[in-house]
Chain A
Amino acid sequence: MGGISLRRIGRALLVPALAVITALLIGAVVMLIFGDDPLAAYRGLFSGAFGNGRAWSTTIRKMTPLILTGLSVSVAFKAGLFNIGASGQFLIGTVFSVAVGVSFEGLPIYVHLPLALLAGILGGMLWGAIPGMLKVFTGAHEVIVTIMLNYVGALFAGWTVYAGGTQGQRPGPLWDPTAGAISETADVFPSAQLPWIFGPPYRVHWGVVLALLAAVLIWWLIFRTTVGFEMRTVGQNPRAARYAGMSVSRMVILAMVMAGGLAGLAGAIETLGLNHKFAPEFSGAVGFDGITVALLGQTNPFGVILAAFMLGALDAGAARMQFQSGVAADIIQVIQALVLAFVAAPAIIRQLFRLRRIPEQIEETTLRTSWGG
């Protein structure tokens, strides 16, 4: 890592910042072409994200799971793996944490809450371990396996709260009988809920602190420990890692387990802090957004926090934008894809803004994945 200089940080931020600006500009052009008013849209977007205290609290709330799924994808990237499976891991984490949250009535909060959070991490770890082990033992590529596990995970999560079928299908284990024909769980007990930080109008729960702590922990782990060093070596040059006596297989599995745990924690936090229950409609889309967050944050934990803040603000403002200006909130997804494109191909941005080549070591962001081996 070396010393931290402002100049270095400024350079590292330059391309992502320009990428975001360019994406917003292109988004505006797209809106103009299809007869929407980009100025009104962006005004709505801004006021929905930062307009007042409540807007800020929405931004922070949206940012929280994105930090964790962004970390999830980043950790995998560090080991040279592409984890597209954060959304499945998120959902399994959700289900595990709800399972603990709706059981064990009467436990004190300092036992019940950590237990529920750990259950979420464990669920995500299990779901992340599968592609890691399959890659190591059979060579199955993690991209395909994680994508397929997203579907399987969503279906499995849906089954756990399934209200039962007309042909004698039994209801799922977490289904709440008092909900009747609706497939959902009961609310988790208050002793398993993450408390609010501020009073009622500002719905910010302690999950955001957990997410920030996780980012610091992951930074320490990756850049300050032997395990992190081995993981990065495996990611950058598996052959060299093998010659140096490191176990590539162990690192691959470990990275996927960690990635899964982080996404699972995201699911747990989202449930225990916000929804307090699970229903099949709850999507794991933040898992997919984790890819954009990780790339925008250059897979650096602190970059991930900034990127999650950016994307959280976009998400928070989208609803207000649609309400205020009538522009479909889906445009945000287009903008996010453009941001992703520009950060993943800094050459485009450099060409557009006639930037000089940025020193290689900053540019080197391990955005390399492998396919064959």
Chain B
Amino acid sequence: MTKNGVLKKSQWIAGALAVAAVVMAVLVNTTALGQYTWLRVLFGVSALNFTLRASVPLVLGALCGILCERTGIINIGIEGMMLAGAFAAFVAKVATNDWPLLASLLFGVAIALAVGALMGLLHATLSIRYRMDQIISGTVIIILAAGTSAYLFDRDAVAQGKFGPVRIPLLADIPVIGDILFQNPPITYMALLLVVIVHVGLFYTRWGLRSRACGEHPRAADTVGINVNRYRYLNTMLGGALAGLGGGFLVLEAVGQFQEGMTAGRGFISLAAMIFGNWNPFGALAAATLFGYTQALQNELLLAGVTQAPRQFISMLPYVVTIVAVSGFVGRVRPPAAEGKVYETEGSSE
């Protein structure tokens, strides 16, 4: 077992909270506890369903961040990659509206992945080849994606149809848990699966070991014959594809249409989830679920009308929780050592 695989204290806390939430959910939705509005707001099936839906783009964004940063490329452009993916998915879906629904949606997914990867390639090229400060390069990605999608967006275009839920037989029949976890549209399952894939990939394969070496000690990696920059390009593109998928999720599965600036800070919250989760896929999943829950809570509170607090304060929840999380935990986590530094082989100047 690698050091990175060991659960940290904060992750134990997150795990315990998740278990407690599931227990409460089962109780609230099956027993008389359900008559209390506040408990329904906090633990109802609809709140937890919303949590999962809100978490998906955050999980994908955080995985993007993990892939990039583990190899040493800081990516604050996740927001832009996600937005580009969302817009690309929308354009692809609209262009193929007359195809069979599933084919058209899958085409949308493919294009979202591809455009996300291209944005990753752009980020990698700017920061590796042209040695642009990686945080600024990320900002360029964000502004570019926002500007281009606004310029090209045809406000009359309508995407027809979106992914519907897929019931997983037997598992979906489990009360409450089945309703929440096993009746979801495909990208949601894919995102959860990707958490496992990225975890196994990073910690149990040669690619993962080499990637992490590039992020921790590129000189050493280079010495043993690893092409550091090739790994950085590759992983930034893979990460970009995942962020693009997160955008595709918004258009093809959650909303069904594109709106200008529809990522609304999700890329940045993903970044916080990545940090909060200590650059580990499962940690990021836990953090993303927490942030997703704050969004769900915001939604449920507004719908239920149980509070007289102005809606602006309720809407601040996800952002404030992100700040608290980043302030409370960032000191206790450790980013990859060689992050953000351009790697040059010895003796090369240009």
Q: Bound complex: CA of A141 vs CA of B268, how far in Å?
A: 12
Q: Bound complex: CA of A367 vs CA of B133, how far in Å?
A: 7
Whether A159 pairs with B310 at a CB distance below 8 angstroms is yes
Q: Bound complex: CA of A134 vs CA of B328, how far in Å?
A: 10
Q: Bound complex: CA of A165 vs CA of B144, how far in Å?
A: 37
List A residues 133-178 near B (Cβ within 8 Å).
134, 138-141, 143-145, 147-149, 151-152, 155-156, 158-159, 162, 165, 167-170, 172
Q: Bound complex: CA of A282 vs CA of B134, how far in Å?
A: 31
Whether B76 pairs with A347 at a CB distance below 8 angstroms is no
List the A side residues contacting B272 at CB < 8 Å.
Answer: 144, 148
Which residue among A34, A84, A341, A347 has the maximum number of chain B CB atoms within 10 Å of its CB? Answer: A341
Whether A330 pairs with B150 at a CB distance below 8 angstroms is yes
B8 at the interface (CB under 8 A from A): no
B312 at the interface (CB under 8 A from A): yes
Closest to B323 in A: A148
Q: Bound complex: CA of A307 vs CA of B140, how far in Å?
A: 17
List B residues 292-325 near A (Cβ within 8 Å).
305, 308-313, 315-316, 319-320, 322-323
Min C-beta distance of B350 to chain A, whole Å: 9
B331 at the interface (CB under 8 A from A): yes
Closest to A348 in B: B130
Looking at chain B's contact residues, the main secondary structure is: helix
List the B side residues contacting A158 at CB < 8 Å.
Answer: 312
Whether B131 pairs with A138 at a CB distance below 8 angstroms is no
A291 at the interface (CB under 8 A from B): yes
Min C-beta distance of A137 to chain B, whole Å: 8
Min C-beta distance of B144 to chain A, whole Å: 4
Give the number of residues in B that approach A within 8 Å (Cβ atoms). Answer: 48
Min C-beta distance of A207 to chain B, whole Å: 26
Whether A331 pairs with B331 at a CB distance below 8 angstroms is no
Q: Bound complex: CA of A332 vs CA of B315, how far in Å?
A: 31
Looking at chain A's contact residues, the main secondary structure is: helix
B132 contact from A141, A288, A345, A372, Cβ within 8 A: A345
Give the number of residues in A that approach B within 8 Å (Cβ atoms). Answer: 54
Known: A148-B322, A372-B340. A340 touches B315 (CB 8 A): no
List the B side residues contacting A156 at CB < 8 Å.
Answer: 312, 316
List B residues 247-271 near A (Cβ within 8 Å).
265, 268, 271
Q: Bound complex: CA of A291 vs CA of B142, how far in Å?
A: 12
A22 at the interface (CB under 8 A from B): no
Q: Bound complex: CA of A288 vs CA of B140, how far in Å?
A: 11
List the B side residues contacting A145 at CB < 8 Å.
Answer: 323, 326-327
List the A side residues contacting B335 at CB < 8 Å.
Answer: 371-372
List B residues 133-176 near A (Cβ within 8 Å).
133-137, 139-140, 143-144, 146-148, 150-152
Min C-beta distance of B47 to chain A, whole Å: 19
Q: Bound complex: CA of A115 vs CA of B152, how far in Å?
A: 44
Q: Bound complex: CA of A335 vs CA of B144, how far in Å?
A: 8
B126 at the interface (CB under 8 A from A): yes
Whether B327 pairs with A340 at a CB distance below 8 angstroms is no
Min C-beta distance of B183 to chain A, whole Å: 32
A334 at the interface (CB under 8 A from B): yes
Closest to A372 in B: B335
B56 at the interface (CB under 8 A from A): no
B216 at the interface (CB under 8 A from A): no
Could you name 8 residue pairs across A and B whose Cβ atoms are closer than 8 Å?
A: A140-B323, A333-B150, A334-B144, A335-B147, A337-B147, A341-B132, A348-B130, A371-B335
Interface residues of A (CB under 8 A from B): 30, 34, 82, 84, 134, 138-141, 143-145, 147-149, 151-152, 155-156, 158-159, 162, 165, 167-170, 172, 288, 291-292, 295, 328, 330-338, 340-341, 344-345, 347-348, 367-372
Interface residues of B (CB under 8 A from A): 74, 76, 126, 129-137, 139-140, 143-144, 146-148, 150-152, 265, 268, 271-272, 275, 305, 308-313, 315-316, 319-320, 322-323, 326-328, 330-331, 335, 339-340
User: Shortest 7 CB-CB distances between A and B: which pairs?
Assistant: A333-B147, A159-B312, A330-B150, A330-B151, A345-B130, A337-B144, A345-B132
Known pairs A145-B326, A151-B316 / 11 extra A-B pairs, C-beta < 8 Å: A141-B275, A145-B327, A148-B326, A156-B312, A170-B310, A333-B143, A337-B143, A347-B130, A367-B136, A369-B135, A371-B335
